[in-house]
Structures are given as structure tokens and as C-alpha cells.
Amino acid sequence: MIIRLDQCYKINFKTTDDGAGANFSLLDGFYEVVRSYGWNELNGAKIDLQANLLAHTGITDGTALTTLQQNWTNDIFYYCIGMDQDRQIWVPESIIKGYPDPRIASYKKLGLVVDLGLFADKDDFSTLSTELLNYLKSNYGIDDADASVTVYGNEWKTIAEFNETNIKRKSLQGLVFTTQHNAISPSSSLTDQKIVFEQPVVLSKKNENIIPGAISDSIGITYGLELTKLPHGTIDSETQCWYYKEEDILPNNTELEQLLNINFNAVILSAIYIKTKFARPSYAWTSASLNTIYTTTRDPMVDSIVYADKTTVNERGIVTSVESDTLVVDGISYEFNVPANAIMLDITYRCRNTKVKYDSPYSAAIRYAYENINLRQRIAALEEIIENQVSE
């Protein structure tokens, strides 16, 4: 057995059944081995094995030491400092089981702390811990977490102030965040591309659908490894931005959200426009036989150099002809590879989920209102026809 000093090990110890004379498995753990003595050095240093070994296993019978140490006179003793427990012990080599494992490392124990704010009673969140643990288990594989709702303080409010808080919370119930990924083609000038908000899915027991339509003040757009943000702008902006037009607003959805929340100052959008001018270090062009060449510009011209790889180091040839997104090199036509050259945008936004997990009269009313938007439009159109007939 080879144990090196100033190294860390996971050490398992023998039991009575292993012939150790006592159950030393209670000492199993992680240790740093900092010193070694022979039997004579140990005794010369007047090290008390009763206090520095047996006491940690619960052995208090003083006669046990006399019996055990008869087998330790030819041992090497290791001074071990517990890494996972606060103990320091002298260990005879003969009670170590197998070969200690030096392949250990320190891992962080994490806890999630969320300030839930003010509530009249912590029982309002009696089901939260169960929901949270189920989410962690299904999405992150965490099956040994613990969660509880704990009161950590108190704040005085008038009943009216507290009711105002509750009203605001109810208006936000059923709003969820989602992320949409879109590929944007690079260009040498500012170009506009319309992004239609998809109908995403909430991953719950029933895979509930969300009503399409993004809340305008919740939209966030990032791209690149540094997660650069694309700002909100207008159609006339001369820099990269996102914007929306009047026809992109869903008026009925917006009206419903304004009725639900008097502080709602945004609009519900069916789509937005992305104004971008993205450049890449190199651009891929692919032939019918799936051979790929690369250029350093998005719009190469005749006599431009093409390269064999994206590092643009190995020259492949010269462009002899260019037409739209097709170029010719050595008599072979290459098409601009749209998927390979695309820039990915992450678009996050908040939208209304009308099928909340726990039904209530409030959520049922919201769902009914959204499900009958088309009916309201038809009624309004019919009312307009009747009014026109009466006026005539």
C-alpha cells in the first residue's frame, strides 16, 4: 500500500469481520495525510492512541487498546486530518481497508434562496415546495433537494396597501417567460427581417399551450458568445435594433391585459422586426457536390480570393463569376450557405398562459375571455352592421 504524505485520500477502514479487532468503519471519510511514524517514533512522541484513535470509534474500554496494539507494532502510523469531519487521528496501516482513493475533489453545495415578498400567511405557499422539488427533479435530475417556506421577517401595512399588492399579483398570474430562437442572415448593410412569435409550449403535466403574442416591454434579444443585447428602436433607426409596427399589435389581447392590470402600459404583439447588419469572420459557399469554400466578405466580387477553410489561410482559387448569391470558382458554382452563415438570436418574452396549473374563477375568466376574442370580434362587426342599417 502506497500512501504519500501531504496528499488527500478517501479512506475506508476495516471492521471486526475484516480481522481489525474492532469496528473502525465509523472512521470512513476523506483525509489529508500529513505525517507518518513507526511504532517506536509513535511511542517516543507519547501519542495517546486511545484519545487519538479509539475514542473516535466510540471505544472507551481502556483494555481494548492493550489488546489491539499488540498487532500494530510493525505498522506504519499515518497522521490523518479529516476533511469532511473535524477530527485528527493516528491510523495504523493494518486497519486501512484496500487502497485509499486519491481521486477526490471539492464540490460546492448549493442552495437557492428566493425572497417571495409579503404574504398574510406562509400557508399561502403550502404547495410551493412540492412544485419546486418536482420541477428540479424533472428538469435538472436533482432528487435529494429540500425546500420549505420560512418566515424571516415581518412588515406592517394597511389592509388597503396589502390588497393592492394582491391585486397586482393576480394580474400577473398566468404570465410566463419563454425563449424563441431565430436565425438571422448576415448582410453588408442594415436589413429588416420580420419575426413572428410562435406558439410555444409550457412543459407541464399537460403540455399546456400559451396564447401567441408577446408583451412588448418584456422582450429581450441577445446574440453572440458575449450575449450582446439588441436595443428597442424605431423603423427609422440607423443602427441595429428591434421595432414593431401598428399592424403588429393585437388590440383585443392588449385590451384584456389592460382590464386585468390597471398599470399595464405595454401592448401585445404578434410579431416584431429585426434591423441588423451582422458580419462573420468568413462566409461559407457550398456546391451541388457539397464541397465548401469560404470568402472573407459577404458579397465577393470577381477576382476575390476564396479559401479552403473558414480560417481563410489556405487559398483555394479566384472568383470568376458572381450572380446574386451564386459564385463560380474553377468552373464550379457555389451557393451561399444560409444555415451555415446564420447568426442565432435568443428572443425572450412574456406571454399569457390561459391554462394555468391550478384552476380558479380568476384563471377561468381569463381563459374564457381569450378563447372568445374571435367571438367578440364577430359581435362587434355585427353591431356595426346593425348601427349602419339603423342610421340609413
- How many domains, in total, are found in the chain? 3
Same domain assignment for residues 181 and 159? no
Same domain assignment for residues 154 and 249? no
Is 106 a member of any domain? Answer: no
Is 102 a member of any domain? Answer: no
Decide if 188 contacts 297 (C-beta within 8 A): yes
The C-alpha atoms of residue 248 and residue 155 are separated, in whole angstroms, by: 43
For 106, half-sphere exposure in the C-beta direction (CA atoms, 13 angstrom radius) is 6
Is 111 a member of any domain? Answer: no
Is 179 a member of any domain? Answer: yes
> 235: pLDDT confidence band, cut at 50, 70 and 90?
very high
The C-alpha atoms of residue 174 and residue 198 are separated, in whole angstroms, by: 18
Same domain assignment for residues 325 and 185? yes
Same domain assignment for residues 238 and 212? yes
Is 110 a member of any domain? Answer: no
Domain end among 170, 190, 210 = 170
Is 220 a member of any domain? Answer: yes
Read off the C-alpha cell for 303. 477576382
Is 108 a member of any domain? Answer: no
Q: What are the tens digits of pLDDT across the range 191-202?
A: 999 999 875 544
Q: What is the arithmetic mean of pLDDT over 241-251?
A: 94
Same domain assignment for residues 196 and 256? yes
Same domain assignment for residues 86 and 134? no
Only one residue has cell 427581417, namely 193
Is 117 a member of any domain? Answer: no
Q: Which of 152-156, 319-323, 330-334 has the lowest mean pLDDT?
A: 152-156
Q: Quick one: pLDDT at residue 200?
A: 54
Q: What are the tens digits of pLDDT across the range 200-221?
A: 544 444 445 566 789 999 999 9
Same domain assignment for residues 239 and 388? yes
> 370: pLDDT confidence band, cut at 50, 70 and 90?
confident
**3-class SS of residue 248:** helix
Q: What are the tens digits of pLDDT across the range 259-317?
A: 877 778 899 999 999 999 988 889 999 999 889 999 999 999 999 999 988 888 888 89
Same domain assignment for residues 228 and 355? yes
Residue-range definition of the domain harbouring residue 367? 174-392
**Measured CA distances, 373 to 210, 252, 255, 272, 380 (Å):** 15, 7, 11, 22, 11
